[in-house]
Chains A and B, each alone.
Chain A
């Protein structure tokens, strides 16, 4: 009897010691199908994934047949994880650029099948990417106090432009890049021919997104920080860098974001709890939403440039797969489907 207990450890060792080796998080029910050919009817959902994990992912949604594929990058690349926090996506011709914030990299993929073409490394905390020309792009950054200049031919960082802090969304107009400077509440103005920061325009607290309308007017959405001031939507004339008008949100608790524009560049969209639409000629902020959140917390917003359909995502509790809703241009629900963990942004394949 007593001898038996002496052997017990070895029994247990044998019993538990011979399992198949699995390390790290495993998926019980994950899509493993490969995609063959993306088309212009496909919408990408960029899922940030859990901070500190490598489960960022790309969901592919076909808007003509409602087909959904998950984990598109991983399935196209022999199971390699995309990385830690996919922040944004940019398509340049036949290539896709996935900015992976916490992995400090940009993944370059073939837009047709998402096979990896290159990995641009050396970033600090990259956020958004902007094409300047066929061989040059800018990448904004959370911590590096600089905008990285990427050589699109060699897929390397070729230089940087010193800036005073956290840079966020950016756009290009007349050889000039307009960049949201989150820390100093400015729109930075960069000459893209010389890569030099030439000027800045003072805006409200925490400018998080910006668009250009059909009259070449710049619209900037400032969240107002954490109850520091009321959020503002500001119109700027880039020609003379002047502030044209400001719309102030009435509730200081509100923190709007995700400013978007439609195909004709005459209607603005943003999330402020619900989704709102506003004409560029409007006299005031819209009082009724085009899409009511009804219990959901909208995190990401995209406007289909072909038909102005509204795509919006709910990350639920941020620790499970999120949900995407597609509404028609008039705001009626067309379809909804499950995406990956923390669906944060959309890209409509060109």
Chain B
């Protein structure tokens, strides 16, 4: 312990884990100018710092604090996503701009992203994602690490113990000297996940203990940045290792499946404002290794994927009313796997150009993205948006946008042996949305309201189907119509030393399959499986002096699990609460916190026949400088 603390001091900045500052104050003003922001006519959800801190990983953060659905297969298992009714590969995850989706299956396992590894997170809904990239037909998740060169040196260590053998150590330091900034985040997490559940698949629904769900994760992230005049230069490295047993569905008495994920991610960033031009140059390198083993089936498979992702994002401020945006991205992907006959690779280039007009109460933008993949050129992926302030003295806006987005098939879709189909076309989404937003500040209270309706028609949707041969193969057969409505509510109040925050999100999503190739196929005009019609969550947090309380409620509505919509999973609703107390001794802050998850001990399944834990507790102590 003493040794760890020494390391903490040695590395010694920002203080994201001590949860008493909001992210808006962490982000230094200097760089507000530099980071390109999506125009406000597009929808984004920004997570506040307390939500990030209260969540174990990205999966939990999105699940509990947004209206986006996470397909959670249980602790230690896969977590994938369905954003606005789309498939798991239709959501992109970016880390400071670098796209992390696997080149192999195009997806991301959200359980492998610990929240200590980023201090800002945003969701870009629908066409909002087009500014950064093409391919996110549902939306994007943006993880950021912001630097504040004005901050004090900090060191922070947190120890958490929890139910079912959970044990976590987190360490975070930031040290600034002579315009250099060094930051480190380290963490180790292990859990047995041997919780009890009611086994509904067996006669008499016996209470059983979850089997084969032990896991451990560790990771380190190191950032080094140099402050420049009107800019910064630096880089960071993300090392992550996960070793987990994959729990079987509750129908199985035993399982021997294990998965290891190893990631190496590094990036260099150069941000600068010069005269009227602001730009960010980012270069990222990602190596992901996935090792899957099934002892009983005698399967051992290892796949390696590498990608290099380069970005140049520029904004040119012609005057206060017109900004020109040009974003260039060149991405190289390669993967080797037992599922491919040879090593596969590809290069994708894309260039987005556009203009944003600020005309008093009206803001308009026109963008287009040009895409080239392996020398095939696609010249049209446009997006247009507009916003109008409806009342002169009120922050009430009408917003609308529309766009066309292409998602290219993954390497597995193209080359998996057997079945891969190298003549697949990109999936195409045509989307449009419109809504209102309202912000009101009255003395110490800030109210935000938002509502947006969307329509997203996806054609050439890639679906793996059984073939006349004995394997499955992907085709561009599916067509899906996604319609929905999203509403947000926020209320922040400060009375002296008391701060109270309320935050709520709701989404209605109707995602309909509108094409089949078999007249007997009853999936036509039915809701896609695992897309809940209703999702709602609410977070309350209050802080008085050094005491904080937090409450989160999330409701996930019924979702169908058979394509003919004959089988469904019932709705579930989870309550989480926590309380924490901070004590200050001179410069040292000691925080103790206690959290109860699934307070009402609800017995539920998010995914069919996957056991989920009942009420469980976490206790943590942290020490910060």
Contact = CB atoms under 8 A, between A and B. Distances in A.
- State yes or no: do A and B come from one complex: yes
Given A25-B608, A84-B252, A226-B471, A321 B564 contact: yes
A91 interface: no
A52 B248 CA distance: 8
Interface stretch (A5-13, A154-162, A283-291): A5-13
Nearest to A144: B296
A16 B529 contact: no
A28 B609 CA distance: 17
B270 interface: no
Given A84-B249, A84-B251, A321-B522, A315 B573 contact: no
A296 B465 CA distance: 12
A22 interface: yes
A25 B568 contact: yes
B469 A255 contact: yes
Interface centre among B200, B202, B468 (most CB of A within 10 A): B468
A54 B518 contact: no
Interface in A255-293: 255, 257, 273, 293
Interface stretch (B62-70, B118-126, B153-161, B599-607): B599-607
Interface string B16-52: 0000000000000000000000000000000000000
Contact of A83 (B251, B523, B538): B251
Interface in B290-334: 296-298
A321 B609 contact: no
B538 A12 contact: yes
B551 A9 contact: yes
Interface string A80-109: 110110000000000000000011100000
B515 to A, nearest CB: 12
Interface in B373-410: none
Contact of B251 (A102, A226, A299): A102
A26 to B, nearest CB: 6
B569 A317 contact: no
Contacts of B248: 52
B573 A17 contact: yes
Contacts of B538: 8-9, 12
Contacts of A22: 570
Contacts of B465: 317
Given A13-B575, A52-B609, A297-B466, A24 B200 contact: yes
Interface stretch (B86-94, B206-214, B448-456, B555-563): B555-563
B567 interface: yes
A341 B529 CA distance: 15
A105 to B, nearest CB: 9
Contacts of B418: 226-227
Interface in B468-491: 468-471, 491
A341 B566 CA distance: 11
A23 B600 contact: no
Contact of B201 (A2, A54, A273, A317): A54
Count class of interface residues, chain A: 35 or more
Interface residues of B, number: 60
Contact of A321 (B417, B500, B566, B573): B566
A319 interface: yes
Contact of B466 (A21, A254, A315): A315
Contact of A319 (B253, B517, B529): B529
Contacts of B604: 23
Interface of chain B, helix or strand or loop or mixed? loop
Contact of A226 (B470, B493, B600): B470
A320 B523 contact: yes
Contacts of A50: 608
A300 to B, nearest CB: 13
B53 to A, nearest CB: 19
B566 A24 contact: no
A347 interface: no
B203 interface: yes
Contacts of B570: 22-23, 26
Contacts of A29: 566
A297 B568 contact: no
Contacts of B470: 223, 226, 255, 257
A227 B470 CA distance: 10
B468 A297 contact: yes
A142 B465 CA distance: 24
B466 A26 contact: no
A305 B473 CA distance: 35
B4 interface: no
A40 B87 CA distance: 47
A247 interface: no
Contacts of A257: 470
A52 B573 contact: no
22 contacts: A2-B445, A6-B540, A13-B575, A19-B571, A23-B198, A25-B561, A50-B608, A52-B609, A54-B250, A83-B251, A84-B249, A84-B251, A102-B251, A102-B252, A253-B469, A296-B520, A297-B467, A314-B520, A316-B521, A316-B522, A317-B465, A323-B520
The 4 residue pairs across chains A and B that have the minimum distance between CB atoms: A320-B564, A54-B201, A84-B251, A255-B470
Interface of B: 198, 200-203, 248-253, 296-298, 417-418, 445, 465-471, 491, 493, 500, 502, 517-523, 529, 538, 540, 551, 553, 555, 561-571, 573, 575, 600, 603-605, 608-609
